[in-house]
Amino acid sequence: MTSADERPLRYNEDGNVHLDFHGAVNTTIDFIVSRYGIEAMHEIFARVGKDVYRDIRGHLLAGDADELVRHWQHFFEREHADFDIAVGPDEIVLTVRRCPAWHHVNKIAPSVSPHFCDQTIVTNRAMAEGTPFEIDTVITGDGACRQVIRRRA
Amino acid sequence: MIPSDHFTRFYNEVFKFLERQGEADLERYFLEISKNQEKHILELIREKGFEGMRQYWSVIKDEENCDLDIDVNEDRFELRMNLCPSLTKAKDNDAETFGRYCDHCAGWVGPIMDKTGYHLVYDVIDRNKPQCVMRIYKDEAKAREAEMDVRLLMGWPGRKQV
């Protein structure tokens, strides 16, 4: 029998990473927001949270936040983020001290979109919508944030 | 953060949104991405021609974990994608795959080749299969001749094909 920690993630990429994709996300955010408004951008991020991450959302719906924690651990490690995850009795806190996406865009693009972190805020919110959990995302500085999973009251 | 590994699935959602707005909206986006890509490839092509293309796509092969072969001769640069990780991920997806996902590739490469005086012949082969052949010619007549042999010729903003 395979334990939960050994099961592969739904999306379990390995190999090399292409950080320039974060630059394309930044370009896309500026493009969508300038032509269609911020609501359109949030609609797309919500689709990512609900449809692309349907598997993680399914775990949240079933009362299981561990799959999202494993997802965070895997992908933040892959991109060499400076982060930690604290699992407590009442909440799970992901602290990102250096976000690889924000810092890479800051290096290669003329500017980081003021809506760049909406990808995290809105995708998290959409994943958790209608589940027993809420995910609060607080931007704590340039390329830094805290993401907290709590059971809804 | 949407992991860079998952960019293609985000891209897929953007394409679906833009297609609902209209064809011109999708094309404007391809041009925006093309402009974004210029900072990575334009000077390489202008300064080194086919060798610059080889350098750029060799990095992509490595960073994006592509199974691809590059062949260059006097007349043309050829990239043969044997297994495209981008379409593979867009299809290995709990969200529905955009049916014209492959169009974005010629959509950004084509305008850069137009700008640098090269001639792109993009054979997508089949939009459902993660493989394609991209050929870039110095000579336009040779490009037009090569178009005769492709299975699914892809166009881009400014050059309609399919």
pLDDT tens digit sequence for A95-136: 999 999 999 999 999 999 999 999 999 999 999 999 999 999
Sole residue written with tokens 């990095």: B59
Q: Is residue B69 part of a domain?
A: yes
Q: Residue A31: give the domain boundaries.
A: 20-151
Sole residue written with tokens 């009251």: A153
How many domains does chain B fold into? Answer: 1
Q: Is residue B30 part of a domain?
A: yes
ipTM over 0.90: yes
- B71 close contact with A: CB closer than 8 A: no
Closest Cα in chain A, distance from residue B151 (Å): 29
**Environment class of residue B8 by beta-carbon count within 10 Å: exposed (0-12), middle (13-18) or buried (19+)?**
buried
Q: Residue B101: give the domain boundaries.
A: 4-154
Q: Is residue B130 part of a domain?
A: yes
Q: Is residue A9 part of a domain?
A: no
Q: Do B7 and A43 touch (CB under 8 A)?
A: no
Q: Is residue B162 part of a domain?
A: no
Q: Is residue A6 part of a domain?
A: no
| Residue at A52: amino acid letter | V
Q: Do B4 and A44 touch (CB under 8 A)?
A: no
How many domains does chain A fold into? Answer: 1
pLDDT tens column, B103-140: 999 999 999 999 999 999 999 999 999 999 999 999 99
Is this model's pTM higher than 0.90 or not?
A: yes
> Which CATH number covers residue A91?
3.30.1380.20
Q: Is residue B22 part of a domain?
A: yes
| CA separation for the pair B162, B152 (Å, rounded) | 8
> Which CATH number covers residue B132?
3.30.1380
- B20 close contact with A: CB closer than 8 A: no
